[in-house]
Amino acid sequence: MADALPFPSHPDNREGAQSGPLSMSSFETRIAALAPHIRIVKPHGEGPFPVVLQFHGCGGVKPLQGVYAEAAREAGWAACIVDSYAHRNISKTQAYATVCSGLRLQGPERAGDLYAALEWARRQDWADPRRIALAGWSHGGWTAADALSMPRAAAERATKIAPLPEDVLAGVVAAFLVYPYAGIGSVAGAKGWRISPKTCVIVGGKDYVVGKAGPLKLVRRLEMDDVPITSEFFAAATHAFDEEGANDMRVRYDPELTARAIGHYQALLRGAA
């Protein structure tokens, strides 16, 4: 099953709503909780390597994450697949019922995992802390875009992590967003980003899950803010066009478009290295 967005407008779905067992915590607590659930795919050698942090959609980690991670390794980057569900004990069934429906863990709150993963990566001896990229699919794209948008105080409220470091986005040089959710509950399209990494956004012309209006609005906002962005409009692409075996009638896997997306991924990473 593919990500079951879009998210409903609900009074409990506002920025910073409670989401599972993690309430207000310290930054170190979140890093410690998340670190065991990060899968690392590194190039050969000792490094230090540039690092891309990959954030899955609301359905959880799928095989496509491994495909993109291998592509990143071919481009000379270490890829880290961040599982936002394991440390919250969210099962696949629960994810589809609650996260994909917007009842818990919206993008601004999940941004806490992104901030924690960034700090974790900067501490690894095989990682180059000056060259870090963010990649997100659907809900993961929402997470990345909003993490790049929120001022520190808003981020602390949304993520329930305090205090967050002033330089929490240090080292981010690139962002790759594939069919990102950018509708109700997203702040990125309205506020723009705090930093200007090299960015690539892929939007599907037949995406009936997140739609195209929200992602295109986000693209226009980033262009207006002079973020160095490349937007790729895949006219024939559905949501999750790169998810082979997706069990959702709104989704059609397209190997050619998947290859194109992977090519854009590698091009962005190579250009940001």
Residue whose token pair is 């180059």: 128
4 within a domain of the structure (yes/no): no
pTM of the model: 0.91
3 within a domain of the structure (yes/no): no
CATH number at residue 53: 3.40.50.1820
| Class of residue 226 by CB neighbours under 10 A (exposed 0-12, middle 13-18, buried 19+) | exposed
Report residue 260 as tokens: 């194109």
Phi, psi of 192 (to 5 degrees): 75, -170
Within 8 A by CB and 6+ apart from 172, the residues are 118, 132, 133, 134, 148, 195, 197
The closest of 27, 26, 51 to 39, measured between CA atoms, is 51
Please report the pLDDT score of residue 249 as a whole number.
86
Question: In whole angstroms, what is the distance from residue 115 CA to residue 83 CA?
Answer: 14
Please report the pLDDT score of residue 9 as a whole number.
36
User: pLDDT at residue 19 above 60?
Assistant: no
Please report the pLDDT score of residue 21 as a whole number.
45
What total number of domains does the chain contain?
A: 1
User: pLDDT at residue 232 above 50?
Assistant: yes
Please report the pLDDT score of residue 190 as a whole number.
81
Q: Are 203 and 231 in contact (CB under 8 A)?
A: yes
Please report the pLDDT score of residue 246 as a whole number.
81
Question: In whole angstroms, what is the distance from residue 156 CA to residue 168 CA?
Answer: 11
Q: In what order do the strands lie in the sheet with 229-234?
A: 38-41, 78-82, 49-55, 127-137, 172-178, 198-204, 229-234
91 within a domain of the structure (yes/no): yes
Confidence of residue 2 (pLDDT cuts 50, 70, 90): low
159 within a domain of the structure (yes/no): yes
User: pLDDT at residue 14 above 70?
Assistant: no
Please report the pLDDT score of residue 96 as a whole number.
93
pLDDT (tens digit, 9 = 90+) per residue, 125-179?
Answer: 999 999 999 999 999 999 999 999 999 999 999 999 999 999 999 999 999 999 9
Residue whose token pair is 């329930």: 160
Question: In whole angstroms, what is the distance from residue 61 CA to residue 63 CA?
Answer: 7
2 within a domain of the structure (yes/no): no
1 within a domain of the structure (yes/no): no
Please report the pLDDT score of residue 15 as a whole number.
33
| Class of residue 129 by CB neighbours under 10 A (exposed 0-12, middle 13-18, buried 19+) | middle
163 within a domain of the structure (yes/no): yes
pLDDT (tens digit, 9 = 90+) per residue, 85-119?
Answer: 999 999 999 999 999 999 999 999 999 999 999 99
Helix residue ranges, H only, 59-106: 63-74, 92-94
Query: What does the CA dihedral 251, 147, 67, 103 come to, rounded to 10 degrees?
Result: -40
Query: What does the CA dihedral 11, 14, 19, 24 come to, rounded to 10 degrees?
Result: -130
Helices (H) and strands (E) in the chain, counts: 9, 7
- Cα atoms in the 13 Å half-sphere on the side-chain side of 150: 29
Pairing assessment for the beta strands 78-82 and 38-41 based on DSSP bridges: antiparallel
Please report the pLDDT score of residue 90 as a whole number.
97
Domain boundaries, position 90 = 11-272
Phi, psi of 61 (to 5 degrees): -65, 125
Please report the pLDDT score of residue 18 as a whole number.
38
110 within a domain of the structure (yes/no): yes
Question: In whole angstroms, what is the distance from residue 107 CA to residue 138 CA?
Answer: 10
Share of the chain above pLDDT 90, in %: 86
